[in-house]
Amino acid sequence: MLIKTPPMGWNSWNTFGENINEDMIRETADAMVSTGLKDAGYEYLVIDDCWSEHGRDKDGRLVADHVKFPHGMKAVADYVHEKGLKFGMYSCAGTLTCARYPGSYEHEFIDAETFASWGVDYLKYDYCYHSPIVPGPYLYRRMGLALENCGRDILFSACSWGSDETHEWIKTTGADIWRSTGDIFDSWKSIRDLTQQQEKLHPFNGAGCFNDMDMLVTGMYGKGNVGIAGCDDVQYRTHFALWCFMQSPLMIGCDVRNMSDATKETLMNPGLISLDQDPAVRQPFRIAKWDGGYVDKVLVYARHLAHGELAVGLFNMDSEKARAQFNMDELALPESTGKTIEMHNVFSGETIMPQNGAVGRVLEPYACEVYRCRIVDL
Partner 1 sequence: MAGQSFGPRPAPGKPEEDGRAACAACGKLLTSDEIGATRKFLGPRRTKFLCLSCLSAELGADPEKLREKIEDYRRMGCVYFSPGPPEERE
Does residue number 234 form part of the binding site for partner 1 (CB under 8 A)? no
Does residue number 79 form part of the binding site for partner 1 (CB under 8 A)? no
What is the closest distance, in whole angstroms, from the C-beta atom of residue 203 to partner 1 in the complex? Answer: 20
Kindly provide the b/e burial profile for residues 367-378, where b requires at least 16 CB atoms within 10 angstroms of the residue's own CB: bbbbbbbbeeee
Does residue number 187 form part of the binding site for partner 1 (CB under 8 A)? yes
* Closest listed residue to residue 14, CA positions, set 218, 264, 249, 276: 218
User: CB–CB of 276/248 below 8 Å?
Assistant: yes
CA angle 373, 376, 378 (to 5 degrees): 125
What is the closest distance, in whole angstroms, from the C-beta atom of residue 59 to partner 1 in the complex? Answer: 25
Stretch that binds partner 1, among 70-78, 147-155, 188-196, 328-336 (CB under 8 A): 188-196
Stretch that binds partner 1, among 24-32, 46-54, 145-153, 340-348 (CB under 8 A): 46-54
Instruction: State residue 370 phi and psi, 5-degree precision.
Output: -125, 135
User: Edge-to-edge strands of the sheet including 351-352?
Assistant: 285-287, 298-304, 310-316, 368-377, 339-345, 351-352
Residues with Cβ < 8 Å from 277, sequence gap 6 or more? 5, 6, 8, 41
- Helices assigned H by DSSP within the chain: 13-16, 22-34, 37-40, 72-82, 108-118, 136-148, 166-169, 188-199, 233-245, 261-267, 270-276
Residues 133-162 that bind partner 1 (CB under 8 A): 159, 161
Instruction: Name the catalytic one among 126, 176, 186, 212.
Output: 126
Interhelix angle 136-148/108-118, rounded to 10 degrees, is 40
Examine the residue annotation and report whether 126 is marked as an active-site residue of this protein.
Answer: yes
Does residue number 189 form part of the binding site for partner 1 (CB under 8 A)? yes
The nearer residue to partner 1, 109 or 129, going by C-beta atoms, is 129
The nearer residue to partner 1, 231 or 275, going by C-beta atoms, is 231
The nearer residue to partner 1, 183 or 342, going by C-beta atoms, is 183
Does residue number 315 form part of the binding site for partner 1 (CB under 8 A)? no
Does residue number 182 form part of the binding site for partner 1 (CB under 8 A)? yes
Rg over CA atoms, the chain: 21
What is the closest distance, in whole angstroms, from the C-beta atom of residue 315 to partner 1 in the complex? Answer: 18
Size of the site for partner 1 (CB under 8 A): 34
Does residue number 352 form part of the binding site for partner 1 (CB under 8 A)? no
Residues 93-132 that bind partner 1 (CB under 8 A): 94, 96, 98-100, 126-132
Stretch that binds partner 1, among 44-52, 58-66, 290-298, 359-367 (CB under 8 A): 44-52
* Closest listed residue to residue 126, CA positions, set 93, 101, 154, 170: 93
Single residue of 10, 13, 156, 366 touching partner 1 by CB under 8 A: 13
* Closest listed residue to residue 248, CA positions, set 226, 219, 218, 273: 273
Does residue number 316 form part of the binding site for partner 1 (CB under 8 A)? no
User: CB–CB of 187/239 below 8 Å?
Assistant: no
Instruction: Name the catalytic one among 30, 78, 183, 193.
Output: 183
Binding site for partner 1 (CB under 8 A): 13, 17-18, 48-50, 94, 96, 98-100, 126-132, 159, 161, 163, 182-183, 185, 187-190, 193, 197, 222, 225, 228-229
Catalytic positions, written as ranges: 126, 183
